[in-house]
Amino acid sequence: MKRTTIYLPDDVHRALRREALERDLSMAQVIRQMSELYLKRDELFWQTVGTLRARNIQETFDEVEADVMKAVRTVRREKRGLRKAS
């Protein structure tokens, strides 16, 4: 694990501190969990885009929406898993 220093706006710092207190975690743990969740969400988004491009066919809006919603559900499951683990 690497140590780093970041500068946060006051309002973001307060929100992170409040979140850490509510979850009985350190701010570092909250920042790590949120960072992991953000990166996973971004990865799932691009995987979905890649899947749609790979199909190379005309899809209806309903089919595209179904794929996006599947990715959303996956991210939410991951988020719940992070909360349960803490």
Q: Are 25 and 60 in contact (CB under 8 A)?
A: no
Q: For the chain, how many structural domains are there in total?
A: 1
Task: Look at residue 4 and tell me if it is in a domain.
Answer: no
Element (H, E) at 46: helix 27-55
pLDDT at position 40: 85
Task: Look at residue 67 and tell me if it is in a domain.
Answer: yes
Name the residue type at position 32: R
Overall pTM surpassing 0.85 (yes/no): no
The residue written with tokens 């975690």 in the block is 25
Q: Which residue has better confidence, 8 or 49?
A: 8
54 pLDDT above the threshold of 80: no
pLDDT in tens, 8-35: 999 999 999 999 999 999 999 999 999 9
Task: Look at residue 2 and tell me if it is in a domain.
Answer: no
Task: Look at residue 70 and tell me if it is in a domain.
Answer: yes
Q: Are 31 and 16 in contact (CB under 8 A)?
A: yes
Encoding tokens for residue 52? 């749609």
85 pLDDT above the threshold of 90: no
Task: Look at residue 14 and tell me if it is in a domain.
Answer: yes
Task: Look at residue 61 and tell me if it is in a domain.
Answer: yes
Task: Look at residue 24 and tell me if it is in a domain.
Answer: yes
Q: Which residue has better confidence, 83 or 2?
A: 2
Range of the domain at 54: 10-85
